[in-house]
Amino acid sequence: MKIFATLGAAAAMMTAGAAYAGPAVLVEAKDHAIISGGIGSGTPLETRNQSGLAAFYVDEGTSLHPFTAVITHTTIFSGYEWFSDSGTTSAAVSYFVDASSRIKGINHFVLWNEESSGIGVFDLYYGAAPGALTDLVLAGITPTDNPLVDYLPDVYEFSKRPNTGWWTLVMDGCPQPIVGSYPACAVGEVAWGGPSVPEPATWAMMLGGFGLVGFAARRRRQSLSVTA
């Protein structure tokens, strides 16, 4: 009876919760739309399907850290990147993120900033449709100006946004100074991240854990009252 009450309290704590959320995992964009900058070369598909990364991640299943601390994007262009039209210094691309209920909000943006042109400065918006500049999430960000070597991503954290929506990357100040030979904006790869909700098995383990904590506390109280 008492154990039952303890479990009930633990479950209530978690649902009312301080919302337990697991470590952030990587989330892949499911669609894209070019808003400005021309059709360019390559396709934004190559910036959201993990092409060019040194190792692939499992959508919603791979920890953001340490993956993003070690996985580089290749400098090889063909099939791996997107460039806006030659001569453009700004561009905008929208990405559709639609995470399952296993993810509890989106609170990271990950950018492998293409090495030869790259993005000088960017804003990132969240909205309901391609090109919707509804909610300014990241403003005036200057990403790493990568040299001509395989490169790591920049990881940005912000307060949680809904699992589903369109994210518009508004790029300006292109190309970046280092190399900067091709006059355009370019993206190597993008990803999002959000805290994962534990699997049912994990919930059971946690409930078990709470039960044990309650049991131990009760035993402590009992032995205290005996010795008192």
The sign of the dihedral angle between the CA atoms of 108, 190, 128, 93 is positive
Bridge partners for 123 per DSSP: 170
The least distance separating Ca ion from the CB of residue 199, rounded to whole angstroms, comes to: 30
CA 108 – CA 182 distance, rounded (Å): 29
The least distance separating Ca ion from the CB of residue 170, rounded to whole angstroms, comes to 19
Shortest Cβ 136–Ca ion spacing (Å): 25
Taking the complex as a whole, the smallest distance from the CB of residue 155 to Ca ion amounts, in Å, to 16
Using CB atoms within 10 Å of the CB of residue 31, give its burial: 0 to 12 exposed, 13 to 18 middle, 19+ buried: middle
Give the H or E element holding residue 199: none
CB of 74 to Ca ion, least distance (A): 8
Question: How far is it, in rounded angstroms, from Cα 112 to Cα 99?
Answer: 21
Q: 7 - beta bridge partners? A: none
Give 168 or 176: the residue with its C-beta nearer to Ca ion.
Answer: 176
Q: Is the peptide bond before 175 cis (omega within 30 degrees of 0)?
A: yes
Q: Which is nearer to Ca ion, 135 or 172 (CB)?
A: 172
User: Judged by CB, which is closer to Ca ion: 114, or 127?
Assistant: 114
Residue 22 or 180 with smaller CB distance to Ca ion = 180
Minimum CB separation from Ca ion for residue 189, in Å? 4
CB 137 within 8 A of CB 125: yes
Name the residues that contact Ca ion, by CB under 5 A.
46, 51-52, 77, 80, 115-116, 118, 145-146, 176, 178, 189
Closer residue to Ca ion in complex, CB, 188/194: 188
29 vs 170, beta carbon nearer Ca ion: 29
Q: Is the dihedral of CA 148, 176, 180, 57 positive or negative?
A: positive
Nearer to Ca ion, 64 or 110 (CB): 110
- The residue among 188, 82, 175 whose CA lies nearest residue 120 is 175
Helix (H) or strand (E) holding 197: none
**What's the closest the beta carbon of residue 96 comes to Ca ion, in angstroms?**
17
Matching residue, tokens 């078990």: 208
Under DSSP, the state recorded for 79 is T
